[in-house]
Amino acid sequence: MTSPHPAETAPAPLRVGMIGYGFMGAAHSHAWRTAHRFFDLPRTPELRTLAGRSPEALAQAADRYGFAQTTTRWQDVVEDPEIDVVDVCTPGDTHHEIALAALRAGKHVLCEKPLANSVEECEELAAAAAEARARGVRSICGFSYRRTPALAYARQLVQEGAVGEIRQVRAQYLQDWLSDADAPMTWRLQKDKAGSGALGDIGAHVIDLAQWITGTDITAVSGTLQTVVPTRPAAGDMQGLGGKGDASGERQQVTVDDLALFTARFEGGALGAFEATRVAQGRKNAMRLEIHGAKGAIAFDFERMNELEVYDATAGAGRQGFSRVLTTEPEHPYAAAWWPTGHGLGYEHTFTHEIADLVRAIGEGSDPSPSFEEALQVQRVLAAVEQSSHDASRWTSLPAPAPEAASPNPTDAAGGTR
Amino acid sequence: MTSPHPAETAPAPLRVGMIGYGFMGAAHSHAWRTAHRFFDLPRTPELRTLAGRSPEALAQAADRYGFAQTTTRWQDVVEDPEIDVVDVCTPGDTHHEIALAALRAGKHVLCEKPLANSVEECEELAAAAAEARARGVRSICGFSYRRTPALAYARQLVQEGAVGEIRQVRAQYLQDWLSDADAPMTWRLQKDKAGSGALGDIGAHVIDLAQWITGTDITAVSGTLQTVVPTRPAAGDMQGLGGKGDASGERQQVTVDDLALFTARFEGGALGAFEATRVAQGRKNAMRLEIHGAKGAIAFDFERMNELEVYDATAGAGRQGFSRVLTTEPEHPYAAAWWPTGHGLGYEHTFTHEIADLVRAIGEGSDPSPSFEEALQVQRVLAAVEQSSHDASRWTSLPAPAPEAASPNPTDAAGGTR
Amino acid sequence: MTSPHPAETAPAPLRVGMIGYGFMGAAHSHAWRTAHRFFDLPRTPELRTLAGRSPEALAQAADRYGFAQTTTRWQDVVEDPEIDVVDVCTPGDTHHEIALAALRAGKHVLCEKPLANSVEECEELAAAAAEARARGVRSICGFSYRRTPALAYARQLVQEGAVGEIRQVRAQYLQDWLSDADAPMTWRLQKDKAGSGALGDIGAHVIDLAQWITGTDITAVSGTLQTVVPTRPAAGDMQGLGGKGDASGERQQVTVDDLALFTARFEGGALGAFEATRVAQGRKNAMRLEIHGAKGAIAFDFERMNELEVYDATAGAGRQGFSRVLTTEPEHPYAAAWWPTGHGLGYEHTFTHEIADLVRAIGEGSDPSPSFEEALQVQRVLAAVEQSSHDASRWTSLPAPAPEAASPNPTDAAGGTR
Amino acid sequence: MTSPHPAETAPAPLRVGMIGYGFMGAAHSHAWRTAHRFFDLPRTPELRTLAGRSPEALAQAADRYGFAQTTTRWQDVVEDPEIDVVDVCTPGDTHHEIALAALRAGKHVLCEKPLANSVEECEELAAAAAEARARGVRSICGFSYRRTPALAYARQLVQEGAVGEIRQVRAQYLQDWLSDADAPMTWRLQKDKAGSGALGDIGAHVIDLAQWITGTDITAVSGTLQTVVPTRPAAGDMQGLGGKGDASGERQQVTVDDLALFTARFEGGALGAFEATRVAQGRKNAMRLEIHGAKGAIAFDFERMNELEVYDATAGAGRQGFSRVLTTEPEHPYAAAWWPTGHGLGYEHTFTHEIADLVRAIGEGSDPSPSFEEALQVQRVLAAVEQSSHDASRWTSLPAPAPEAASPNPTDAAGGTR
């Protein structure tokens, strides 16, 4: 019997420190453990340190997620010379401080979205990322849905011109977990913690996707924010999602929106209809995109994440229709790394793909996508929607991007090794 | 062998004069010929006179549709004492004059939508209808989609409280017949004839449906109108739909929108996202409605007009999901008059149901729905959207309805005789 | 004002006598009244005589359907020199006698399916039709589903080679109206009246369609018949479909199958999986076809009758998927006669198309399809399934068709005049 | 900074030896690495030894999958006292020898399906498993699709009586990767290696599921096997799935079926229509089940594995329809361990659930499901189908199970720890 790891050929592991261990921590750590099992990566991730506030929960999470050690000071992670990458999974209000410190300490940074809770903080982070980039430090913001094979393929089709000049975008992120007026309070419903409600938490995803897939930025918006359920029962633990309120009967003020509607103008002239809601009774995770161009269209719903619908207006007369493409073929982004045709992937694969792309970028010395600059652009859209909403929904322009703030040419979808 | 019609028992026929013989003329005349074959009606329609401009086309249409005689003067129809009902199927710019004359002449009036091309004209018509109503003269505006069984059932469910307090409406009317930038000019793209573009022609339907199904009026809007394809090849005949441009190469200006997006506030506080478009590549007649309430939801797409999706948030844990209801059961509005369960209906049935309801209302002396007042309310929404669009999409309120303009209690869905 | 019908140009009307006035009578008479309103036909149908047993119901039906006169002797229709076409809508046990008499009297015959209740009767009818054909008398059997635009288009695609050599057919006709063990007895459940149960009544449709679309006959079968609910409450009136049993509590024996499963071999070597059932809880009228070939596939479900799914295995890598084609384009069979793109048709249109094709065939002197010979072939399949079922499901071959019994070259899908 | 693993509290790891490292090896090893990260398990799996034939590929696989050591002798794994569980992932012709040896050596055994390639071998294995069970040794056969949440939930609904007495089962496993007549030869197409073709490889899954969900065994079958593409290009490496043939042009004989159709009778009287095919052009992994009962129905398609359609015939009149349930709620089997509502799972989760259930059973000292006896019953169905196919599809009964061969009461769906 022999050991399969000849020590001399192994590249240096990529040592990961993660800050935050909630829902995103579970998803990220799974991805860090799994990416090199399915993708050929230049370095192998090693889960070194998990940081968090509550020592007990932290120890349990570290055990569950596979981290070697823990700390209640996030600074320990940033300062540790034995750590190569800092993965920021905390609520949005702490991203700015942590990510900035990590970049300055020369760590590669994966920062969950939102990049930060304000445009100003995002600008600082984008500037810091640009500086760090010059020193070979990589940074990426966690808009993980880009790594859904169907959506990466949608971008590919659009960029190849398969749908022609884009005219309309319909982008919705529909959930219903706040439909119950007695669903309890969470930090996600507090403006000081979460920065924004449905708009920033889930609307941000479809903003990012719409810009990324069309390859054009949003330049102006007209929007409306609403809080359909304005108070909620106090919750004991303030966890992020689900659960039940406590029995005291006290109701607390929701300080963010739970429904956001806006119209957007894209650089190329296309018009977009956006919606983010958590009170869309019956829709569980319906992140839907429809893009109509002069030559074709695509449609997607994350509730059926392994399918992309593609319409080709140049098909023969009588043969035109939306084709339901199962994006599990070797030709589809990321799919070759996984299972045979028709065997679908799940939500967590988007993170595994993100980590695979990040590790490759670090190994190759290229810049992964979405950059902090791209995340800043999303934040500018969010801010403009809020401003428009405060201004009776008047069209509100985004500031023209400074030339130096233009996005770097990012590394895209990893292939696989099936 | 015997004749089945003992003359003494037959009620007086309902003599119909129709003005206009285009696409709507074909649909209406089919309905007039068919309604009494499937529904028990107090009087039997008789197609007396067809009016139009081109004598040759008119003769051909009258023959095809089954009218006994023709005239090129619409006034002949309005003034004919042998005519009971005037059916107005002309382009919108002529509705005001014709319908007003018909009401004043004491004829029952079915006026295709739009009721007229301006709020002012609609107000005059609504006032005239109210006056005529006092004299026993019935009037109805042709928002025929209300008579889709699935949508009439949706209203019934909402009115029964099955979805609870309404929070969100998503209403889209998506077509793509103007996606081709070389599709020719038609009167529907000329503001002086059509009054409005996608907004008025198809957006009007989803406005009417959203108000009717929720039972609440829209009170304010924020909207954007766009003409995605601003010029089109001149067309020889200016027919309404389809066809190819002439060979001259001349392009004419499109003077109406082909894409309209707006957000609407309903009386009860619900927020609606509306869209009307004729450049949604791949969508042929996707009139889609989704309504989310505190207790449930409904979803509909006219491309699958025999289905209503119903979500019940009070169903047992684990059992919740959108139910695809085939609205072909005897319990569904209008369905009992037709075929066995599962045997679907088509587009023209909406007109047949409209005529059946109208003939019953005339027979019973009740007022059919949608009234001219309801059509005026739709026109007010259209006008407010246009105004908002001109004012940088600012929220624009509709005038509060005068108390006397409130809608009468209309007659609803006819049963059937399967 | 002028009358639109200059008498000198009108062709001779096509005078129709119909025997039977149940569900099929309603569908057929609608089609006779409607076909010339939407299709350019050489002669205009005229509903002359309706024959039936119960004078009162007959008078009511004639009034409803628009027949000029009635008789309780079907022979009156067959013998009437003023009648051109005899339309046989009675239960299957009477088809043989009536259709034979009509053919011999020189009437064109539309005979509802089944052509008759036994192979022997069908053979006699086919022979009589062949003789009559030589005298210019036309005959057609009412497998009306062929005239669903999506299915006529499916045949066209298959015949053009779009799916390549056929390998597999999956053909199901699923209903659930007998799922309720207390749904009452009807003549459709009595072997002496109906001849067969689910197999003959609805299975016959998918047999006909599978043979017609693939263009190949079934040569052998292995089948199983079952009566899932063996007794049912006695019904007062023995109507065909639906209704409730009487209160006596008496249960009667069901003498036909309500579930039939069989495997079939086609001439070309393809294998088919067939199912006909009336106890498929939840399926209302799910007539489903899937055909897989070497180059592509098609899929259809009558519950979504305006859609055909088409798979093209030769499409580019990554782009393959079932396309949902709305068969409402001018290029699709029959569709140009009706409404704009995306405005669906309903169940009764299949009959209107059937009548349009029949009237054209009579006018042109060509032979309409399906011929009585084609109906005989369906009956032979039914008989072989019954035989196989009695013989422990052993493969059972159909008799090789005699050369002279080969089908004539039938007239196909009518165009339209939209 | 502290280490999260206090050594004194850790239970003994569960040491795994795996034999075979192909497609199934990748899926199983992922599950062994992942199960304890999402489920609370009594012991933590440790990937000790990977056995295989080719030293080089083996070393690469062990590195990729995370095994500590390798061996080219499977006996090393079975004999190693440091191994607790043997996971058999080799082709079916070797299962019998390996699994038998492992059971006799006192190892818990997870044996991929098919349990073996003949009924006789399966009987021996079932007997050996029964003996081993008496000694506390656990065994399970890898019908992993049972652990799809939607299907485990389907079983739960059926067992609770939600669909009433079962009348019909429609079970299809449709793939198309052999549609291309030039797809190369693989061991899966050789009878001596694979034992069976589409029938045994994928048909076995739907046989197992149909029996498991209905809770009744199949007692007789009538079937037909066919090899649609009888020869294929020789392949260099004989890998299991996909790839391209070599350039020599030589074609080899396919010795198994690629299409299987059969009808089955269940203990309770229900009739099932089964199909397994790899030439169903356009269907990638369409494992479809429809079950119709007296009170309701369920429908499933693995291409949409996160959805179960449920029909309730007792719902209110007009409200009946198939509900599309996203089986991602905490109430659904396994789902609570994963992501929030609406965030779907993928193919590999079925294996992770299987391992979680197995580890729990080992920890609790209960017997996991499916037992070898259940796998033997599947093999008996396969054998009966083959026999019927050789006997002109005559109905062929399965041997009545000996009383002692009855299945033990197995452990079912694990909960989770979301």
- Assess whether A218 and A124 both reside in one domain: no
Average of per-residue pLDDT across B339-360? 97
A229 Cβ neighbours under 8 A, 6+ residues apart? A178, A181, A254, A258, A279
pLDDT given for residue A410 in this prediction: 43
- Assess whether C126 and C159 both reside in one domain: no
The Cα of B389 is separated from the nearest Cα of chain A by a number of Å equal to 10
Residues from chain B that touch A260, judged by Cβ atoms under 8 A, are: none
pLDDT given for residue B251 in this prediction: 93
Element (H, E) at C132: helix C119-134
Average of per-residue pLDDT across C345-370? 98
| Boundaries of domain holding B141 | 10-145
- Assess whether A228 and A188 both reside in one domain: yes
Of C105, C112, C104, C152, the residue nearest C128 (C-alpha): C104
Of D281, D276, D96, D283, the residue nearest D197 (C-alpha): D276
Residues from chain D that touch C158, judged by Cβ atoms under 8 A, are: none
Cα C320 versus chain centre, distance? 34
Q: Last residue of some domain: D144, D159, D179?
A: D144
Is the CB of D340 less than 8 angstroms away from the CB of A241?
Answer: yes
Give the pair of three-digit tokens for residue C6. 């200059």
Residue among B3, B242, B305 whose CB faces C68 most closely: B3
Query: Mean pLDDT in chain C?
Result: 92
- pLDDT bucket at A238, cuts 50 / 70 / 90: very low
Q: What is the pTM of this model?
A: 0.94
Reduce the DSSP state of residue C165 to 3 states and report it.
Answer: coil
The Cα of C96 is separated from the nearest Cα of chain B by a number of Å equal to 24
Sheet holding D69-71, edge to edge: D69-71, D45-51, D14-19, D85-88, D108-111, D139-141
In a domain, A318, yes or no: yes
Average of per-residue pLDDT across D83-98? 96
- Assess whether D172 and D129 both reside in one domain: no
Residue A251 has pLDDT above 70, yes or no: yes
- Other C-beta atoms closer than 10 Å to the C-beta of A314 total 9
Is the CB of D277 less than 8 angstroms away from the CB of C168?
Answer: yes
Question: How far is residue D151's CA from residue C68's CA, in Å, rounded to a whole number?
Answer: 59
CB of A148 closer than 8 Å to CB of A305:
yes
Is the CB of A1 less than 8 angstroms away from the CB of D343?
Answer: no
CB of D197 closer than 8 Å to CB of D258:
yes
The Cα of B393 is separated from the nearest Cα of chain D by a number of Å equal to 34
Q: Tell me, what CATH number does B216's domain have?
A: 3.30.360.10
Q: Tell me, what CATH number does C26's domain have?
A: 3.40.50.720
**Apex CA A395: angle with CA A393 and CA A398, to 5°?**
120
Residue among C315, C326, C329 whose CB faces A317 most closely: C329
3-state class percentages of chain A: helix first, strand second, coil last, to nearest 5: 35, 25, 40
- pLDDT bucket at D388, cuts 50 / 70 / 90: very high
Q: How far is CA B79 from CA A44, A157, A216, B65, B87, in A?
A: 89, 61, 60, 22, 14
Best of B222, B300, B308 to disrupt the A interface (most A CBs within 10 Å) is B222
Is the CB of A304 less than 8 angstroms away from the CB of D305?
Answer: no
Question: How far is residue D59's CA from residue D70's CA, in Å, rounded to a whole number?
Answer: 7
- Assess whether A122 and A41 both reside in one domain: yes
Neighbours of B (≥3 Cβ pairs closer than 8 A)?
A: A, C, D
**Using the 8-state DSSP alphabet, how is residue B220 labeled?**
E
CB of C22 closer than 8 Å to CB of C16:
no
CB of A332 closer than 8 Å to CB of A148:
no
* Residue A77: closest C-alpha in chain D: D1
Q: How far is CA D79 from CA D51, D76, D86, D101, in A?
A: 12, 5, 10, 9
Question: How far is residue D395's CA from residue D387's CA, in Å, rounded to a whole number?
Answer: 9
- Count of domains observed in chain D: 2
Torsion, Cα of C178, C281, C149, D283 (10° steps): -140
Q: What are the φ/ψ torsions at residue A222 (nearest 5 degrees)? A: -135, 115
- Assess whether A44 and A156 both reside in one domain: no
Sheet holding A14-19, edge to edge: A69-71, A45-51, A14-19, A85-88, A108-112, A139-142
Neighbours of C (≥3 Cβ pairs closer than 8 A)?
A: A, B, D
**Using the 8-state DSSP alphabet, how is residue B169 labeled?**
E
Q: How many residues does chain B have?
A: 418
Residue among C4, C58, C345 whose CB faces B59 most closely: C4
Question: How far is residue D293's CA from residue D376's CA, in Å, rounded to a whole number?
Answer: 27
Q: What are the φ/ψ torsions at residue B303 (nearest 5 degrees)? A: -65, -15
- Assess whether C140 and C71 both reside in one domain: yes
Question: How far is residue D265's CA from residue D275's CA, in Å, rounded to a whole number?
Answer: 14
Is the CB of D319 less than 8 angstroms away from the CB of B325?
Answer: yes
Is the CB of C320 less than 8 angstroms away from the CB of A332?
Answer: no
Residue among A281, A296, A394 whose CB faces B292 most closely: A281
Residue C81 has pLDDT above 80, yes or no: yes
Burial class (CB in 10 A: 0-12, 13-18, 19+), A22: middle
Mind listing the pLDDT tens digit for each residue in D140-155? 999 999 999 999 999 9
Best of C229, C261, C295, C323 to disrupt the D interface (most D CBs within 10 Å) is C261
Whether the ω angle into residue A6 lies within 30 degrees of 0, i.e. cis, is no
Residues from chain C that touch D182, judged by Cβ atoms under 8 A, are: none
Listed range (A84-88, B399-403, C170-174) with the worst mean pLDDT: B399-403
- pLDDT bucket at A409, cuts 50 / 70 / 90: very low
Interface predicted TM-score (ipTM) of this complex, two decimals: 0.93
Residue among B168, B280, B297 whose CB faces A292 most closely: B280
Question: How far is residue A281's CA from residue B167's CA, in Å, rounded to a whole number?
Answer: 9
* Residue D72: closest C-alpha in chain A: A1
Average of per-residue pLDDT across D197-201? 95
Residues from chain A that touch D202, judged by Cβ atoms under 8 A, are: none
Residue C40 has pLDDT above 60, yes or no: yes
Is the CB of A4 less than 8 angstroms away from the CB of D69?
Answer: yes
Residues from chain D that touch C311, judged by Cβ atoms under 8 A, are: 281-282
CB of A382 closer than 8 Å to CB of A207:
yes
Mind listing the pLDDT tens digit for each residue in C265-297? 999 999 999 999 999 999 999 999 999 999 999
- pLDDT bucket at A242, cuts 50 / 70 / 90: very low
Reduce the DSSP state of residue B265 to 3 states and report it.
Answer: strand
Give me the DSSP letters along D298-318.
EEEEGGGTTEEEEEETTSPTT
Is the CB of B179 less than 8 angstroms away from the CB of A294?
Answer: yes
Tell me the residue type at D233.
Answer: P
Neighbours of A (≥3 Cβ pairs closer than 8 A)?
A: B, C, D
- pLDDT bucket at A418, cuts 50 / 70 / 90: very low
Question: How far is residue C138's CA from residue C371's CA, in Å, rounded to a whole number?
Answer: 9
Q: Last residue of some domain: C111, C129, C145?
A: C145
Is the CB of D329 less than 8 angstroms away from the CB of B310?
Answer: no
* Residue D295: closest C-alpha in chain C: C281
Give the pair of three-digit tokens for residue B294. 């505190």
In a domain, B356, yes or no: no
The Cα of C178 is separated from the nearest Cα of chain D by a number of Å equal to 10
Reduce the DSSP state of residue A264 to 3 states and report it.
Answer: strand
Give me the DSSP letters along B221-248.
EEEEEE-SS-EEE--SS--SS-----TT
The Cα of A296 is separated from the nearest Cα of chain B by a number of Å equal to 6
Cα B254 versus chain centre, distance? 24
- D interface with C, Cβ–Cβ < 8 A, is 163, 167-168, 170, 172, 176, 179-181, 222, 224, 226, 228, 259, 261, 263, 271, 273, 275, 277, 279-283, 290, 292-297, 299, 311, 313, 320-322, 392-395
pLDDT given for residue B401 in this prediction: 63
Is the CB of B2 less than 8 angstroms away from the CB of C341?
Answer: no
Question: How far is residue A151's CA from residue A157's CA, in Å, rounded to a whole number?
Answer: 10
Q: How far is CA D37 from CA A144, B31, D232, in A?
A: 21, 64, 43
Identify any residues that bridge with C225 across adjacent strands, giving them in sequence order. C260
- Assess whether B299 and B177 both reside in one domain: yes
Give the pair of three-digit tokens for residue D177. 């990767």
Listed range (B185-189, C164-168, D108-112) with the worst mean pLDDT: B185-189
In a domain, A171, yes or no: yes
pLDDT given for residue B235 in this prediction: 76
Average of per-residue pLDDT across B12-19? 97
Tell me the HSE value of A208 on the side-chain side, using a 13 A CA sphere.
30
CB of D384 closer than 8 Å to CB of D398:
yes
Mind listing the pLDDT tens digit for each residue in A354-364? 999 999 999 99
Q: How many residues does chain D have?
A: 418
In a domain, D231, yes or no: yes
Best of A261, A274, A320, A324 to disrupt the B interface (most B CBs within 10 Å) is A261
CB of C269 closer than 8 Å to CB of D255:
no
Residues from chain A that touch D285, judged by Cβ atoms under 8 A, are: 328, 340-343
Residue labelled with tokens 């399915």: A38
Taking one residue from C and the other from D, the number of pairs with CB-CB distance under 8 angstroms is: 127
Is the CB of D341 less than 8 angstroms away from the CB of A1?
Answer: no
CB of D357 closer than 8 Å to CB of D414:
yes
pLDDT given for residue A413 in this prediction: 44
Residues C395, C396, C397, C398: is their CA dihedral positive or negative?
Answer: negative
Is the CB of A324 less than 8 angstroms away from the CB of C325?
Answer: no
Strands (E) located in D93-181: 108-111, 139-141, 166-174
In a domain, B313, yes or no: yes
Does residue C50 or residue C246 have the better pLDDT?
A: C50
Residue among A3, A29, A285 whose CB faces D68 most closely: A3
Neighbours of D (≥3 Cβ pairs closer than 8 A)?
A: A, B, C
Average of per-residue pLDDT across D353-366? 98
- Other C-beta atoms closer than 10 Å to the C-beta of B407 total 17
Residue among A27, A70, A341 whose CB faces D1 most closely: A70
The Cα of C319 is separated from the nearest Cα of chain B by a number of Å equal to 16
pLDDT given for residue D249 in this prediction: 73
Q: Last residue of some domain: D118, D144, D170?
A: D144
- Assess whether C165 and C207 both reside in one domain: yes
Query: Mean pLDDT in chain A?
Result: 92
pLDDT given for residue B416 in this prediction: 42
Give the pair of three-digit tokens for residue B12. 């007086």
- Assess whether B253 and B394 both reside in one domain: yes
Is the CB of B319 less than 8 angstroms away from the CB of D332?
Answer: no
In a domain, D39, yes or no: yes
In a domain, B353, yes or no: no
The percentage of residues in chain D with a pLDDT greater than 70, rounded to a whole number, is 91
- Assess whether A163 and A140 both reside in one domain: no
The Cα of A232 is separated from the nearest Cα of chain B by a number of Å equal to 15
Residue D351 has pLDDT above 70, yes or no: yes
Question: How far is residue C10's CA from residue D266's CA, in Å, rounded to a whole number?
Answer: 65
Taking one residue from B and the other from D, the number of pairs with CB-CB distance under 8 angstroms is: 48
- Categorise residue C66: left if φ over 0, alpha if ψ from -120 to 50, beta otherwise: left
**Apex CA A146: angle with CA A140 and CA A147, to 5°?**
90
- Assess whether D196 and D312 both reside in one domain: yes
In a domain, C2, yes or no: no
- pLDDT bucket at D403, cuts 50 / 70 / 90: low
Tell me the residue type at C113.
Answer: K
The Cα of B309 is separated from the nearest Cα of chain D by a number of Å equal to 9
Whether the ω angle into residue A114 lies within 30 degrees of 0, i.e. cis, is yes
Residues from chain B that touch A163, judged by Cβ atoms under 8 A, are: 281
CB of B307 closer than 8 Å to CB of B148:
no
Residues from chain C that touch B2, judged by Cβ atoms under 8 A, are: 59, 69-71
Burial class (CB in 10 A: 0-12, 13-18, 19+), A25: buried
Residue A317 has pLDDT above 70, yes or no: yes
